[in-house]
């Protein structure tokens, strides 16, 4: 694994600081070298952490080779497939231990264009959380099948209605978080394993009063490898969003309010 600590003198991105791009991987052997090269080109001042769940296709070993050749590339080897949320939490902890100022979430399959990263990092100068949005003015979604488009649009609509968050893309996974803002999130409470992790963190960000900014991105369907999306992952997101909505309403009723100072609950 490459190391970042000790000898580093650079301060990373102006107004943001040292940035670690966390790329979770499970069976992304056809993508890992490409995505790392694209990130290095698009944002040379960031470090990259590949968080691999012991992919059977050898992604972890490929990532090790990349790390051996580039001091800004690192690998976190995890024991077996534990889900996207767990991989990101481990990546965030890794970043904190090494004194990074901000973390970026990015898929390995090229759907999140590294070329959009400079715009996200610019927005992070005046924000705690930046969400790369597929569903705001100026964004584009390329080659996604109709069922995925519908799932994303309906999922976002449901999350917005049930959780009352003024976000166009609460489910998206291309984001920048300032570590200092994450400290206010109570990450120990995170229970999502799959992609509902993104909604859960949107909710924690909103509740913590973090400054959230959405930036339009161009999202493209993967060209290599296969999606790890499953009916189980969709079901987890659906029931968790519903449970959070019920919890928020109970809280609001108990307090006799339609809004709380901490929860900022707004009923649809």
- Point out which residues bind Mg ion (CB under 5 A): 107, 109, 111, 222
Residue 108 or 179 with smaller CB distance to ligand GDP = 108
Applying CB under 6 A, among 12, 21, 22, 25 the residue interacting with ligand GDP is 25
- Exposure letters 187-224 (e unless 16+ CB within 10 A, then b): beebebbbbbbbbbbbbbbbbbebebbbbbbbbbebee
E strand spans, the chain: 19-25, 47-52, 73-77, 102-105, 129-133, 140-142, 175-178, 212-216, 218-220
Instruction: Name, in order, each residue with C-beta under 8 angstroms of 18's C-beta and a sequence gap of 6 or more.
Output: 8, 10, 11, 12, 47, 99, 100, 101, 102
DSSP lists the bridge partners of residue 13 as 17
- Which residue, 149 or 229, is less far from ligand GDP as judged by CB? 229
Closest approach, Cβ 173 to Mg ion, in A, equals 8
Q: With CB cut-offs between 5 and 8 Å by kind, which of ligand GDP, Mg ion, none does residue 236 bind? A: none
The Cα 127–Cα 214 span in angstroms is 10
81 near ligand GDP, rule: CB under 6 A: yes
Residue 42 CB-density burial (10 A; 0-12 exposed, 13-18 middle, 19+ buried) = middle
Minimal distance in Å, beta carbon 121 to ligand GDP?
Answer: 20
The helix (run of H) or strand (run of E) holding residue 108 is: none
Query: Segment contacting ligand GDP (CB under 6 A): 45-53, 66-74, 124-132, 134-142?
Result: 45-53
Of 79-87, 132-140, 209-217, 243-251: span binding ligand GDP (CB under 6 A): 79-87
Task: Give the total of residues touching ligand GDP (CB under 6 A).
Answer: 20
CB of 216 to Mg ion, least distance (A): 18
Report the residue number, 8 or 228, with the smaller CB distance to ligand GDP.
228
Residue among 25 and 111 whose Cβ is closer to Mg ion? 111
Q: Which is nearer to ligand GDP, 8 or 77 (CB)?
A: 77
Measured between alpha carbons, how far is 109 from 220 in angstroms, rounded to an integer?
9
Nearer to ligand GDP, 73 or 108 (CB): 108
Q: How far apart are CA 268 and CA 251, in angstroms?
A: 15
Window of 9-17, 80-88, 201-209, 211-219 that interacts with ligand GDP by CB under 6 A: 80-88
- What residues from 147 to 206 belong to the interface with ligand GDP (CB under 6 A)? none
Q: Which of 24, 110, 155, 216 binds ligand GDP (CB under 6 A)?
A: 24
- Which of 18, 26, 48, 104 binds ligand GDP (CB under 6 A)? It is 26
How many angstroms separate the CA atoms of 167 and 211, rounded?
A: 12
Instruction: State residue 248 phi and psi, 5-degree precision.
Output: -60, -40
Distances, alpha carbon 163 to alpha carbons 131, 159, 257, 264, in Å = 17, 6, 15, 10
Give me the residues that bind ligand GDP (CB under 6 A), please: 24-26, 28, 51-53, 81-84, 87, 107-109, 111, 222, 227-229
């Amino acid at each position: 694994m490459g190391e970042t600590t000790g000898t580093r003198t650079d301060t990373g991105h102006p107004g943001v600081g040292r940035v670690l791009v966390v790329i979770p991987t499970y069976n992304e052997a056809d993508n890992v070298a490409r995505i790392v090269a694209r990130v290095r080109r698009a944002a040379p001042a960031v470090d990259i952490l590949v968080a691999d769940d012991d992919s059977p296709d050898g992604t972890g070993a490929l990532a090790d080779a990349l790390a051996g050749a580039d001091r800004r590339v690192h690998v976190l080897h995890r024991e077996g497939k534990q889900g996207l949320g767990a991989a990101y939490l481990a990546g965030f902890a890794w970043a904190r231990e090494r004194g990074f100022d901000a973390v970026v979430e990015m898929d390995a399959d090229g759907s999140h264009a590294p070329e959009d990263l400079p715009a996200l990092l610019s927005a992070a100068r005046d924000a705690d959380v930046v969400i790369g949005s597929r569903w705001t003015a100026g964004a584009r979604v390329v080659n996604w099948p109709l069922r995925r488009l519908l799932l994303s649009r309906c999922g976002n609509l449901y999350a917005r209605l049930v959780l009352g968050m003024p976000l166009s893309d609460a489910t998206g996974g291309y984001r920048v978080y300032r570590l200092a803002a994450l400290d206010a999130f109570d990450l120990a409470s995170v229970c999502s394993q799959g992609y509902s992790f993104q909604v859960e963190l949107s909710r924690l960000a909103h509740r913590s009063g973090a400054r959230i900014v959405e930036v339009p991105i161009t999202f493209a369907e993967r060209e290599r490898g296969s999606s790890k999306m499953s009916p189980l992952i969709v079901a987890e997101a659906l029931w968790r969003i519903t449970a959070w909505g019920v919890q928020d309403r109970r809280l609001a009723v108990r307090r006799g309010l339609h809004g709380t100072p901490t929860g900022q609950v707004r009923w649809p």
